[in-house]
Structure 1
Amino acid sequence: MSELRFTPADVAGVRFGVSPANETVMSMWALADPARYPVHLGWIDRARTTLRRPEVAERVRPLVELAWPRRWLPDFLTPAARPGVEMDGQLDRIAATPPDVVVEDLLATVPRRPLGRYGQALLADPAGLLPQLVEAVRVWYDEAIAPDWPRMRALLDADVAYRAAQLAEGGAGQLFERLHPSLRWLGDRVVSDDPFERDFDLRGRGLALSPSVFSDRRVLWNLLEDSPPVGAYPVRAVGTLWERGAEPAGDALARVVGGGRAALLRLLDAACTTTDLARLTGLSAGAVSQHLSALHAAGLVTRSRVGRHVLYRNTEVGAALLRAARGG
């Protein structure tokens, strides 16, 4: 069990962001243990083919070693997401990690699993060998994540918008109670039902939260008290990630409402913006807007404004129509 203790400043400092570096690093878990990630099997097949290429395998080897399943990740390798910071910025931040922090973060992972050859070498020469690890993360992102990043990003952005609305409407208590079944909010702290036994005092630093495609079973916290407080939690509606934008011609719902509108209804179990839906389906933003207007007029989707964003989601009628089309 882990506990995170909050001050009022920490509650005010809860924030969300999308971290391509986290997804790149944690994707290695799915690659090494595909049975645990059945929703990603198509991606895993493609990524394994990529990793078998000798020129990729050699350059990615440091990341493969440090991101092995059941190994704790060193905190510096999964930096907190920041507004406007994309993959290049996160890589720059990893590269700028002070040598003593690299050593401390690596040693914190040893109780879980001994370091391999590269890990031992990095421990002995953090300044000299950290560039190899940064290059490994960069190569793996470019080869395996970037081709699917728009789709992943749309799902992650939709989750962030949904959680931000929860926080605005119900406060931190409602947010953490609904963020994941393993979490409980006890007024001044979050209790996480996990095997990590971490004890954090946030000390007014706030908490950065990132939805993750490859975090499948629990919320993952950083390891060390002095590291920037970060949590990665399983993204909502991950089962929609690899769905096609249009269904086969034989699909009953598509025959009734049209392929584009059927695709949108399937994605709107989770709240999404027009931009999210365009990325996920491959439809133009104009086409998505037209379909949403028709679905809204028919009472199948609802819309609400959160800040600058308009979120769409299925109504009970829309959800019932989907269940009927699925035979359930």
Structure 2
Amino acid sequence: MDLGKLGALHIRVLKNPGATVLSLVADALGGRFQGVPAPTRALIQAAAPSNCTALLRPLFNHPYALVPDCLAPPAAASDNSADAYVERLSDVRPDDLLTELEAEFPQHVPLAWQPVVSQPRAWARSYAHVMRSVWEAIRPTWHRHDSLFEREYERIGASTVNGTLDLALAQLGPRFQLAGNSLRIPDRRPGSYRLDENRPLTLIPVASGVGASMFSHQGDTVDWIAYPLSSLAPAGEREERTRDKDRDPLALVLGEPRAAVLRALRRPLTMGELSSLLQCSPGTTTHHCSRLEAAGLLNRNRQGQHVRIALTDRGNELVGLLV
């Protein structure tokens, strides 16, 4: 996706529970990987209606997921309630759904979509029931993440003020890649997209899994991008954080784990030393270092049997500016 000039890019971050529900359903019930933790996946599967796997097959049983716009969560800031989203699904007009399917499949609608075509109203209401069941199951958890969403708004806002927007975009999630002014969006359909020059880039963090990735587009114009909430605490980790940590400028830009990596690298360290210092597994440390290296903030060099990690000039400048 062509972002244009990053310096002129206007971003808005929206809290949209409907996007989280869709991401969780795609993973737990649709078989589309979003990195949802096993306990959360089990919770959703237990809460969902028994026949939902067959019901959802049209949406997710393709090389790529296809959710018609009339079934997707709206990105409008005034409509960020999952209750409103589910209610809207129950009232989807059959003609709207069929028109979208005809536009997507101009030659013939695939066999998997025939149950939708034959009874669009009944199918939409059953789909709404699935989404309502999942929302009711995860509603308490969603509200416990309020402070994490606030932290994400501050993180993106701080990156805009500090001129580090490229770093924030480069760390939307492991499935997104920033190269210059282009953002690679994970999708199995090849295509080029752009932003509407009259609209901001809309980002929707989702409390789903580390591999969460969704986007909505009209033709070649992207409406919104959903990505994993960067500060989402893993299972078992305390969600409450001190006020000082919440206001940490470096963590607001990079997230706490990656801010901790940069702080630890006041001097070059081996990967083993860094993992021990951070009390993280080698795999987790490697993941964060890979993302920081892609952003130009550190270098990794093999020396014999060890990989030595050091800050780049840019990394030192960022730490000096924000610490």
The question of whether the paired residues in 2 share the 8 Å contact of 1:80 and 1:230 is answered with no
The question of whether the paired residues in 2 share the 8 Å contact of 1:215 and 1:232 is answered with no
Q: In the alignment, is residue 20 of structure 1 matched against residue 21 of structure 2? A: no
1:245-264 matched pairs, under 5 angstroms? 245=238
- Cα drift, residue 77 of structure 1: 2.6
Among 216, 230, 234, the residue aligned to 1:236? 230
Name the aligned partner's letter for residue 19 of structure 1.
N
> Which secondary structure does the structure 1 equivalent of 2:42 belong to?
helix
Single out whichever of 101-110 and 69-78 deviates more from structure 2: 101-110
> Which secondary structure does the structure 1 equivalent of 2:47 belong to?
helix
Q: In the alignment, is residue 47 of structure 1 matched against residue 44 of structure 2? A: yes
Q: What is the Cα-based RMSD across aligned positions, in Å?
A: 4.5
Q: Structure 1 residues 178, 30: CA separation in 2 closer, same or farther (over 3 Å shift)?
A: closer
Name the aligned partner's letter for residue 124 of structure 2.
L
Name 2:72's counterpart in structure 1.
78
The question of whether the paired residues in 1 share the 8 Å contact of 2:23 and 2:212 is answered with no
- Cα drift, residue 59 of structure 1: 7.2
Q: In the alignment, is residue 220 of structure 1 matched against residue 214 of structure 2? A: yes
1:130-169 matched pairs, under 5 angstroms? 130-142=124-136, 144-169=137-162
The question of whether the paired residues in 2 share the 8 Å contact of 1:177 and 1:184 is answered with yes
The question of whether the paired residues in 2 share the 8 Å contact of 1:27 and 1:214 is answered with yes
1:40-62 Cα distance to aligned partner (Å, 9 max, x none)? 112223333334xxxx3257864
> Which secondary structure does the structure 1 equivalent of 2:163 belong to?
helix
The question of whether the paired residues in 2 share the 8 Å contact of 1:211 and 1:233 is answered with yes
**Residues of 2 paired with 1:302 and 1:154: CA distance?**
9
Name the aligned partner's letter for residue 241 of structure 1.
P
Name 1:90's counterpart in structure 2.
85
> Which secondary structure does the structure 2 equivalent of 1:179 belong to?
coil
User: Structure 2-normalised TM-score?
Assistant: 0.61
The question of whether the paired residues in 2 share the 8 Å contact of 1:80 and 1:228 is answered with no
Greater share of helix residues, 1 or 2? 1
1:142-199 Cα distance to aligned partner (Å, 9 max, x none)? 1x32242223454444333312322333265444334346332544x54446533233
- Figure out how many residues of one structure are paired with residues of the other and give that number: 263
Q: Structure 1 residues 173, 36: CA separation in 2 closer, same or farther (over 3 Å shift)?
A: closer
Name 2:201's counterpart in structure 1.
207
**Residues of 1 paired with 2:260 and 2:187: CA distance?**
34
Q: Any gaps of 5 or more consecutive residues in structure 2?
A: 265-273, 282-323
The question of whether the paired residues in 1 share the 8 Å contact of 2:172 and 2:230 is answered with no
Name 1:326's counterpart in structure 2.
279
